[in-house]
Structure 1
Amino acid sequence: MSTAATSSTTNTHTTTAAGGHLTLDAEALYRELLRGVRSMLTPSTHLAGVASGGMWLAQRLQKDLGLDGEAGVLSSSLHRDDFASRGLASSTSSVLPFDVNGADIILLDDVLYTGRTVRAVINELYDYGRPACVRLAVLVDRGGRELPIEAGFAAARVALPANQSLSLARAQDSGAFHFEVKVKEA
């Protein structure tokens, strides 16, 4: 299994939140991600997104890359290491409309932080079969890893204080991406 533990992460933008203010153009970063994922494609590639931000990315990439079929969706809910305290945090179920066995999977997520969600999603993926390769591509890598998981492609690196969360949001009318930064309750 490969979780893209190489140091091939593309870093097109590096940003530090100064005074709690962060400005990132999610649409520009999406275009970088599109280029990066295009370079990772093989004839047996399938896209799968982490619910929910990664799912939105995978669905849009599937269309923009002109790939056949549908992108998969993976939920981390059943394999989280904090399941006892969080319960089922997501109402989205995993759906993989392709055979996982022997496939080259590009796993997509909006923000890579501790690596715990990606670990849970990889466990979920392997419940469906054994892929030949799993590579990770993210819109933003914010550092702070707790597990040895790295993205094979990241459109940006962002430094945020630990008490802030960063997530991808989507406009209801246009579907355009933007980021939301929230301060976590103590």
Structure 2
Amino acid sequence: MSESRAVLEGPDIHRALTRIAHEILERTKGADEVVLLGIPTRGATLARRLGERIEQFEGVKIPVGSIDITMYRDDLRLKPARPLGRTELPADGVDGKIVVLVDDVLYSGRTVRAALDALNDLGRPTAVQLATLVDRGHRELPIRADYVGKNLPTAKSEKVKVYLQETDGREAVLLVKEAAK
């Protein structure tokens, strides 16, 4: 049996993404050279949402895509086979662009490392930044998010579950504690 509590609800997620969109615009001095690449599944949804917000603020439609990291994961030999996802690059690619990788939860850093390896095979951006809805700590690699919706200190035994309307039919971030056996 597990116990869970909501740490972000729909309006909180909306506000966090709005703040991240503004921070991206401030740090990159506008949206002209920015490309958002989401890490599927929920990172791709969050990237689309960020792109929509930036378009609302700036009146500029920025390129949004997704980057499949399946073949770049360092745990392929430890877990059963997975289906390959799709990498969808904007028409102009990533060369010379500021690429913002977008994911839902930053934990060990291994997913981001895989995304960096995948991105390396796709082109040569000017810079790569990271946006995440939740940073829960416990890094195993020296990776830090540039934009964070919520810093959420967790125990290693806890899980963070992100639910988004497009993929899950609801909006929430839950902290799940497994009950002692």
- TM-score bin, normalised by smaller chain: 0.7 to 0.9
Of 67, 70, 73, the match for 2:66: 73
Residues 119-168 of structure 1, C-alpha deviations (whole Å, 9 max, x = no match): 00111111110100001011110000000000011111112221232132
Matched, 1:95 2:88: yes
**Worse-superposed segment, 21-30 or 159-168:** 21-30
Structure 2 residue aligned with 1:138: 132
Structure 1 residue aligned with 2:23: 39
1:138 and 1:104 map into 2 onto residues whose CA distance is 16
Structure 2 residue aligned with 1:61: 50
* Count of aligned residue pairs for this structure pair: 168
Shift of 1:81: 0.7
Of 137, 142, 147, the match for 1:153: 147
Structure 2 residue aligned with 1:114: 108
What's the TM-score once normalised by structure 1's chain length?
0.78
1:181 and 1:59 map into 2 onto residues whose CA distance is 24
2:22 and 2:83 map into 1 onto residues whose CA distance is 29
- Root-mean-square deviation over aligned CA pairs: 2.7
Residues 41-98 of structure 1, C-alpha deviations (whole Å, 9 max, x = no match): 3310011111111111011121222142651111221111101122543542211123
Contact 2:163 2:169 in 1 (8 A): no
SS at match of 1:156: strand
What's the TM-score once normalised by structure 2's chain length?
0.80
Structure 1: segments with no counterpart, 5+ residues: 1-18
SS at match of 1:65: helix
1:54 and 1:176 map into 2 onto residues whose CA distance is 16
SS at match of 1:166: strand
Q: 1:182 to 1:143 in 2, by over 3 A?
A: same
Q: 1:173 to 1:83 in 2, by over 3 A?
A: closer
1:52 and 1:183 map into 2 onto residues whose CA distance is 23
1:92 and 1:37 map into 2 onto residues whose CA distance is 26
| Identical-residue share of aligned pairs (%) | 31
Contact 1:27 1:178 in 2 (8 A): no
With CA pairs under 8 Å and 6+ residues apart, which has the higher RCO, 1 or 2? 1
Larger Rg: 2
